Structure 1
């Protein structure tokens, strides 16, 4: 049985983290898998299969006792200092020999695995974003890190194109494997009962409340629609650093009847299934797991024209693509679907046709071929 070590920053409620859980649940019987977390935290921790060993740099060190809190604080400061000097120090304390070491996310995870002292393992880096638009380090540092990997896996063709514009020398080691999506699991979970008043057209979006997801643009467009006296409701599922900013905008513009922030939902699928329209307002993506999942649920889709959604919707053939940072185009797309039932049905049918590309068996086969050296 091959031994694999996978590294990711944490198991918070993002798309890459969710994909990793899907992957662990599919692969854990065929391979011996260890998981290394830079920070042992996140909503998906409890979903890691029981036979996957978890190691980590940091974990939450809370205590009700004053002396324990002081000890924990000192311990955290020491570890922070060590980590700032050598991000792979704690990772390399594990002397176990692995066949494969995988950095499942760009940035810190990639840096940790790139500096592994296991010289005999095959190193694989996953890229879940558009590196032309989102990088956490300077180009020369990133270039050097990727030089240490045998394979670089991008989650979409556009994501690959962006990486190769930056680092064309890595073309022979870069390939595309779509994110694995468990369609059966999505469909089963979508049938969970939720209370959702359906007296108007429901729009839904799912994602972390961060600048990259473009919710400020989406709320601007919603405000414009409100001023046209169009009746609808937008549900935003997710949590994040911009929550208070978004709440303030909703209050200042009296959008409480039009927008509801529902927070993070471990199971967003019942809301997606009951909604009439799915929206992605992202400034950049690598693949966009939630757009794919909305497609599995046959939803009419509006998305910004960025890496991931652009490819999933095949340049607008299977959903409405709107230009980036264009509030008016986003507003007009929403208005057209809200007011036109026939148009919603057409785009629902298009999602139904397109979802055939998300065949989890094919994706799993490609990943197993990668790990089996084929």
Structure 2
């Protein structure tokens, strides 16, 4: 009999959501019966990334107590063998319910390093994460942080680097053309929702310094800039205007297919203050784009080798990022050295 897997994920299109879909759709259909439950108000954007043929449940946003009740009724309805989630706010609520489902396997994936969580969130991690059967950490540092904070048994935390959805990237690039109209420009690209964590307020002045030396440089920022992202987006737009760079920096909003922007750019830039394990960086490396990356987490220095596939910069340092951008763009095509977790790695933890 197949193992029934119920994957809870938010309805937006963040890195954790896309990884959850990638894990689910790659599980062997002869062994696993996978369904998804999307949580959130507004448009169910992540549903567009779920292939046809999968059952998709929907829970609209509500207050935390009602949300927990919705989770309980969904689990009762589906009766899965394994319950999986990748986002802190969903992880904690599901683990609260684990006491009611002792025969079911709760597998969670940590979406960030513990130091970025608030004091309240850290308390929830200490109390609840040990209730999971298995915890997936994206890096060794993430595992070490969870063990130290929550006194969690090391044996239940497995380090699995994020997989890259090579098939989906290749499919979306099959008939792609460059989205850049000015072919004589040097193109820098950054992707991610407009949030302080992404460091676009560092990227914009760094680009201003780059543009003084590389006068034909342009910067494209691809990512959600409305809704909850609006306030930060307005701040960044004001910064762009104050630096007289409106004709050089282009905010193109959320794109269902961001890969042409990465593939046809001369350099990918990661300006984040913090990340779990940045999928966009891994995708840029897969597409053999030189990268300029802030060392916001330790693994960045292991992924990006200065002078080989890009250059690193100090976190929240405008001058350092500008120097990395100017040097990285000279590298042209690079070799991808990233080794991701495999489908079989994730299948083992679901069995």
TM-score above 0.5, yes or no: yes
How far is 1:85 from its partner? Answer: 3.4
Alignment of 1:203 with 2:193, yes or no, is: no
Q: Which of these residues, 83, 86, 92, is aligned with residue 104 of structure 1? A: 86
Residues 320 and 129 of structure 1: CA distance in aligned 2, closer, same or farther (over 3 Å): same
| 1:53 counterpart residue number | 55
In structure 1, the residue matched to 2:145 is: 162
For residues 182-230 of structure 1, the C-alpha deviation after alignment (integer angstroms, 9 at most, x for no partner) is 2233234234124412212111111111100000000111223344563
* Cα distance, 1:201–1:316 mapped onto 2, change above 3 Å: closer
Once the two structures are superposed, the pairs formed by residues 215-364 of structure 1 within 5 Å of their partners are 215-228=200-213, 230-240=215-225, 241=229, 242-307=232-297, 308-313=299-304, 318-338=309-329, 341=330, 344-345=331-332, 348-349=333-334, 352-355=335-338, 357-358=339-340, 363-364=342-343
Equivalent residues of 2:192, 2:198 under 8 A apart: yes
Partner residue of 1:91 out of 42, 60, 71: 71
CA drift of 1:167 comes to 2.3
Deviates more, 1:188-197 or 1:11-20: 188-197
| TM-score, scaled relative to structure 2 | 0.88
SS of 1:22 mapped into structure 2:
helix
> Which stretch of structure 1 is more off in the superposition, 293-302 or 141-150?
141-150
Please state whether the residue corresponding to 1:202 is helix, strand or coil.
Answer: strand
Q: Which has the larger radius of gyration?
A: 1
Equivalent in 39, 44, 55 of residue 46 of structure 2: 44
Structure 1, unmatched stretches of 5+, are: 60-79
Greater mean alpha carbon deviation, residues 222-231 or residues 321-330: 222-231
Displacement of 1:369 = 1.2
**Is contact 1:28-1:49 (8 Å) kept?**
no
Offset at 1:136? 8.1
Partner residue of 1:128?
A: 111
When residues 164 and 211 of structure 1 are mapped into structure 2, their CA distance, relative to the original with a 3 A threshold, is: same
What secondary structure does 2:69 align onto?
A: coil
Q: Measure the CA separation in 2 of the matches of 1:133 and 1:84.
A: 22
Aligned residues of 1:302 and 1:320 also touching (Cα < 8 A): yes
Relative distance call for 1:310 and 1:163 in structure 2 (3 A) is farther
CA distance in 2 between counterparts of 1:176 and 1:35 reads: 23
- Number of aligned residues: 336
The residue correspondences of 1:172-183 to structure 2 (distance < 5 A) are 172-183=155-166
Shift of 1:140: 2.3
1: CA distance, partners of 2:268 / 2:322: 14
Mark the CA change 1:257 to 1:122 in structure 2 (over 3 Å): closer, same or farther: same
Q: Residues 11 and 39 of structure 2 are in contact (CA less than 8 Å); yes or no, is this contact kept in structure 1?
A: no
Given candidates 213, 218, 221, the residue that maps to 2:198 is 213
